[in-house]
Structure 1
């Protein structure tokens, strides 16, 4: 699983047209409701300074402790399916992670609006308390009681995480403009590093200290992350009133054919793109049960995704966001068929993990940027939030549906799962290419 990327944040800077002044580089503007009393130049992005880089540090810690844990769900899934929840089907176990992503996505737009109204001073610690409490509750869940994992890991943790992770992404452009690509890199890497660290911790610590204490150690790490974030993350722009519900999402966007094909392509792509994150480790354990590499495939995948979510964004500046998004998604689908479907050999699985991590990254990094490129400036935030909400059902349905293929864990059954994933990815790619074609032809609906 990947987190949304740097180009979403680049797009939000288009909304900040205030001219930079020398005073902007030195001071943090206090949260206030009296916007008319504040000179716009006083909260223009300073592109540096101690407070700005401390905010980068804090948001990176948030990304590590929230979406990093979501990225590492494959490590949880392997343990649940083999030991802790072995009395349940793989489909039901995979729904824990699927619901986790669903809750994150469905509340993405609302979380940003709440953050704008409340500010980080209260929302970040409140989010941290919720996330840490969810992890401590997860540590005392009992084997064979899957409803406890759903309540703690899928619902409570994700509700807490979404109200800090997504707003953190939108906060960085308040501090940076020209240097925004450099500021986004740490936040993007934080989520991927979490996807590397947490599965390895689970594999190494559970046999030594047990599931409960392993989760408590992770909870204390997450608590430390949020303490740092609470002390370092600062608001720069004034708060604004919470908008009415109908303004959180731009439902009129579905009258624009370019947006419709883009959103539909993203729906089918996200329906399939998470399956390697959830099932690659279990597939490797089925194909090579005694291999010492089995716990590390997800870590390899997340490691290469760091580059996959940063480098293509730089390339997209020169060759186009839609071009990079379409080509990388097509390559991801081809890799599923060419490497994952055709072989159980460890070298091929390592190659697939590394390549898929890189080429699946641009989907999450560039999707919001593509939405912003075809949207009116005043509707960018609403459309991005609406796109995440639109994709949320696919995240919830995709992995459980594919899990039906492996009720009995055999290589042929896994191959059915892999082929189904590839078909979904190819359908999504086709819709993305149509969206690109419409954009290039400038065929837009009147909104």
Structure 2
């Protein structure tokens, strides 16, 4: 029998569990640990609340958890309730699938000012992550600046500019919906250091900005390269740039009917966030691309007004004591998923924050292949029986998948009209719902 512990119940964790079950069938026992009482990681608290079709992938993970040899172990903090070393003593393999839950610092002056947030925190706020539910951003000002040129920046800009009615069918949490309904934001600037051909925005997400009820996107035609150069782009990137070209061609008469504007400011490198205690603007330097596509400063600077700033410039994993970590890359030090004997990593914890949700599936299957090479038929380790004994000794309040289904049922039952659920945003509330 093989015993595997997976730390993290997001996509990378569940795809790894699926791979282990497919390879070994009844000859493996997999325990999936999570610090929260609820599973699915970024599917629950990272994917935009108005992208319910993407969240539907959790149905696949539920099917994996329905197997007798795969178990969800929620409300267990690795490093506090039990150490990685202790898990290694109980399981043949321990896989870190913790993702990259922390914001990468912007590294510019003023990022500590009031009403400046990283995207992990801001997205966690409107998605109901318990760690960020009390963030309470001030949306009363007129100008928001979103730093970054990826899909997360698009999500933040879209969420900031939607009407309450446009959230019908979403699972945005009530406190965020209420705050957004009272928002005074009239202008959102999306800052990108490079140009339209270098964006990391996918066509579907970018195209959504052209169909908002009260907001219209703006692109300066002067920022667009020659249209003939689009032929050198990958098909998806070409479609995205086509959207930007269409935004540049929106008639001013149409814009006049929209009270909110989403402006793409390309070739714009933020140099400092300005303000006395609270943010009031962002100092930006105009850039140009060198022969290698890098953004060089031109020396020309200007200030973009900002009452709210959200930085969407990347994420990093959380270090774990005793586990080698690459601080510069924001991930665990590894070679093809191997960290140390018996210790592995997968997904963003292995690669850094890159790729889509689906990228984690082949990643999970590849790390299981390496585990198979290393552990063979397994050992005489205790696995879940040993953990259960330790959990009882330490009086850990472990949440099972059956408990989670009770929490989920309670969330569905308290949903507002037109919403799939109203998430609990407090761990104690989750625990109480499990016991009701």
Structure 1 length normalisation: TM-score? 0.22
* Structure with greater Cα Rg: 2
Higher share of residues assigned helix: 1
Higher relative contact order (CA 8 A, sep 6+): 1
Structure 2 length normalisation: TM-score? 0.22
Higher share of residues assigned strand: 2
